[in-house]
């Protein structure tokens, strides 16, 4: 859901709207783009929902790290990290 759709549903509209003061559910947060995903209706379902992707990432850790390092090298060529630093030590 984009922000205009969220506003039309009462999120982010006038301060007098009491719905703006209520907490969001995980599903509402996902629909607003605040979460990548939400899963499970119990603690056990949540743990399984977290464990499955975590185990998948762990099994590919070397590959994922190599991809991240390659991207970081490309980024460094475009703009070195030091260029983002305001203060440098002498």
Q: Is 9 exposed, middle or buried (0-12, 13-18, 19+ CB in 10 A)?
A: middle
Categorize the per-residue pLDDT at 82 as very low, low, confident or very high, splitting at 50, 70 and 90: confident
Categorize the per-residue pLDDT at 3 as very low, low, confident or very high, splitting at 50, 70 and 90: low
Cβ 32 vs Cβ 1: under 8 Å: yes
Residues 6 or more apart in contact with residue 46 via CB below 8 angstroms: 39, 40
Over residues 74-89, mean pLDDT: 83
Q: What is the pLDDT of residue 17?
A: 56
Task: List the chain domain ranges.
Answer: 1-38, 40-90
CA 40 to chain centre: 18
Digit-coded pLDDT (tens) for 11-63: 555 555 555 677 888 889 999 999 988 888 889 998 998 999 899 999 999 99
Q: How far apart are CA 86 and CA 17, in angstroms?
A: 42
């Amino acid at each position: 859901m984009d922000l205009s759709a969220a506003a039309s549903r009462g999120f982010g509209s006038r301060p007098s709207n009491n719905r703006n003061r209520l907490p969001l559910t995980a599903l509402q947060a996902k629909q607003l783009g605040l979460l990548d995903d939400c899963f499970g209706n119990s603690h056990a379902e949540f743990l399984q929902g977290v464990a499955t992707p975590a185990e998948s990432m762990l099994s590919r850790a070397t590959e994922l790290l190599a991809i991240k390092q390659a991207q970081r090298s490309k980024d460094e060529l475009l703009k070195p990290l030091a260029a983002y630093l305001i203060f440098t030590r002498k």
